[in-house]
């Protein structure tokens, strides 16, 4: 059997699921429907698929540690985690994946999968992949078309040729209005565009070269000049920034005569909005889907999610409520597409809620800013076993550390010492310092910062085991 290489695309920002999904921690890294995140589920549903090798992951460099840690949690060792220094849409990302997959002289079939979709019928999906393989091996560029369950106006459509199984694509169409969508569904000839593909690496590059030769040249240069960084392959920033930005649909699939489509019915959902998440969530008899501590009286068809606080709802229909530590969303289900406009306004006004959660993840663990004032900030810090913060100093703040649980190894200028539970230390302004967890259980401590400026950019790094830049 021809080698099959899953390509997981993980560069999205997921702004339509704000405030749960944010630029620093988008939806593919969230456990929206179970114990595993969407990224993890994307790989796990391939288990048992003959010929599937370790995945090749294309990710935003800002998410590199999230990707690596989440795959490690499910026992996956990727063949490569390729980091994009800047987003250039799907066509260049897949070009890089194809070039990387062929670097050893092979020409595998690439199974290109967005890492933020839901597929309920996993056996049917694996069967669909196997059904698509012969056409892909023969040179076709196969996309998976979703049998529509309703006249959805939020998806692009694919008109398929006559026949059964894999068939020719007659045309791709943009997101239609409702009347047109109803016609498409009634005809039985149109399928939702899922954004999932199967094709030989060489065939994709061949077809892309006909329409976007500059894109291949930039991708090739970015990969040739890439540098290894621990577990990652960092594309060259200048070369990739010069790459034209385009989707695979516009750059290749709408222009090639090799486009094929396999209609599938596998319980697919792109979870592209809060209403879409409600549709695939477990609901009670009144159509309510709730997670966290939620009390609902006389409510119907609602979605409510709370991370910590109780949500009490009375007499609500078709409403979405999402409560996080630092933002609350209340919206009618028919208006949830406008969430992206909220994020746009937050970015315009440079509000941190557009990018960061209050709880921020780092390669060594995470921290939660639990209180702050004009000249102070209090953080709850958790350091994973073996985790090490950078050797650093601050120009504008001093810090008090109080160990709540676990063991801390502290470096403060020329002193190195151990702190145990209920012990504390003071880090003066300007001191070189480092925090480590030498133990086998998480280290939890409270950090009290005081000073004239408390921003995260007041960090000068001297050493960092994770390869992060100074300052």
Which domains occur in the chain, in start order?
Answer: 4-269 (3.90.550.10), 274-340 (no CATH), 359-463 (2.60.120.10)
| The pLDDT value given to residue 469 | 65
Mean pLDDT over 396-425 rounds to 97
pTM of the model: 0.89
Q: Which CB contacts under 8 angstroms, 24+ apart, belong to 151-156? A: 151/178, 151/181, 151/182, 151/184, 151/185, 152/181, 152/192, 153/177, 153/178, 153/181, 154/272, 154/273, 154/337, 155/192, 155/193, 155/270, 156/192, 156/193, 156/249
Q: For the chain, give the mean pLDDT.
A: 93
What confidence category does residue 31 fall into, taking pLDDT thresholds of 50, 70 and 90? Answer: very high
Residue given tokens 């070369």 in the structure block: 239
Q: What is the pLDDT of residues 449-468, one digit of tens each?
A: 999 998 888 999 998 888 76
What confidence category does residue 20 fall into, taking pLDDT thresholds of 50, 70 and 90? Answer: very high
Name residues whose C-beta falls within 8 Å of residue 20's C-beta, 6 or more positions apart in sequence: 27, 30, 32, 305, 322, 324
Distance of CA 118 to the CA centre of its chain: 13
**Cα pseudo-dihedral 267, 134, 201, 260, rounded to 10:** -60
What confidence category does residue 109 fall into, taking pLDDT thresholds of 50, 70 and 90? Answer: very high
- φ/ψ bin of 193: left (φ > 0), alpha (ψ from -120 to 50), beta (otherwise): beta
**In the predicted structure, residue 176 carries a pLDDT above the cut 90:** no
| The pLDDT value given to residue 471 | 47
Mean pLDDT over 187-205 rounds to 95
Structure tokens at 377: 């900030």
438 CB-side CA count, 13 A: 11
**In the predicted structure, residue 71 carries a pLDDT above the cut 60:** yes
């Amino acid at each position: 059997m021809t080698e099959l290489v899953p390509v997981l695309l993980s560069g999205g920002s997921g702004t339509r699921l704000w405030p749960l999904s944010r630029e620093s921690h988008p939806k593919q890294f969230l456990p929206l429907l179970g114990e595993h995140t969407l990224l993890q589920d994307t790989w796990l549903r391939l288990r048992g698929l003959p010929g599937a090798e370790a995945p090749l992951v294309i990710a935003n460099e800002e998410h590199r540690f999230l990707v690596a840690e989440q795959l490690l949690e499910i026992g996956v060792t990727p063949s490569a985690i390729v980091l994009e220094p800047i987003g250039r849409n799907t066509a260049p990302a897949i070009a890089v994946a194809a070039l990387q997959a062929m670097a050893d002289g092979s020409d595998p079939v690439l199974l290109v999968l967005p890492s933020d979709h839901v597929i309920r019928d996993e056996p049917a999906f694996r069967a669909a992949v196997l059904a698509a393989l012969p056409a892909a091996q023969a040179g076709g560029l196969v996309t998976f078309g979703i049998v529509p369950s309703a006249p959805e106006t939020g998806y692009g459509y694919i008109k398929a040729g006559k026949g059964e199984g894999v068939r020719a694509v007659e045309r791709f169409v943009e997101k239609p209005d409702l009347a047109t969508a109803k016609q498409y569904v009634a005809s039985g000839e149109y399928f939702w565009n899922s954004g999932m593909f199967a094709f030989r690496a060489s065939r994709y590059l061949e077809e892309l070269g006909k329409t976007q030769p500059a894109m291949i040249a930039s991708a090739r240069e970015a990969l040739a000049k890439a540098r290894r960084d621990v577990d990652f392959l960092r594309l060259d920033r200048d070369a990739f920034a010069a790459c034209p930005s385009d989707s695979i649909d516009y750059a290749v699939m709408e222009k090639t005569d090799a486009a094929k489509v396999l209609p599938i019915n596998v319980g697919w959902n792109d979870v592209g909005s809060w209403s879409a998440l409600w549709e695939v969530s477990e609901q009670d008899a009144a159509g309510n889907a709730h997670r966290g501590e939620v009390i609902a009286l006389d409510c119907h068809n609602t979605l409510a999610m709370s991370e910590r606080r109780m949500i009490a709802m009375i007499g609500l229909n078709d409403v979405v409520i999402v409560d996080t530590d630092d933002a609350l969303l209340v919206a009618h289900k028919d208006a949830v597409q406008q969430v992206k406009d909220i994020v746009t306004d937050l970015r315009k006004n440079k509000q941190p809620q557009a990018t960061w959660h209050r709880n921020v993840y780092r390669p060594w663990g995470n921290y939660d800013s639990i209180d702050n004032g004009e000249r102070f900030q209090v953080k709850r810090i958790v350091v994973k076993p073996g985790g090490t913060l950078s050797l650093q100093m601050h120009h504008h703040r001093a810090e008090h550390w109080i160990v709540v649980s676990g063991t801390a190894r502290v470096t403060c200028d020329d002193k190195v010492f151990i702190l145990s539970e209920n012990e504390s230390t003071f880090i003066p302004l300007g001191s070189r310092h480092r925090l480590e967890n030498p133990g086998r259980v998480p280290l939890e401590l409270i950090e009290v910062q005081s000073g004239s400026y408390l921003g995260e950019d007041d960090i000068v790094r001297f050493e960092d085991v994770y390869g992060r830049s100074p300052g």
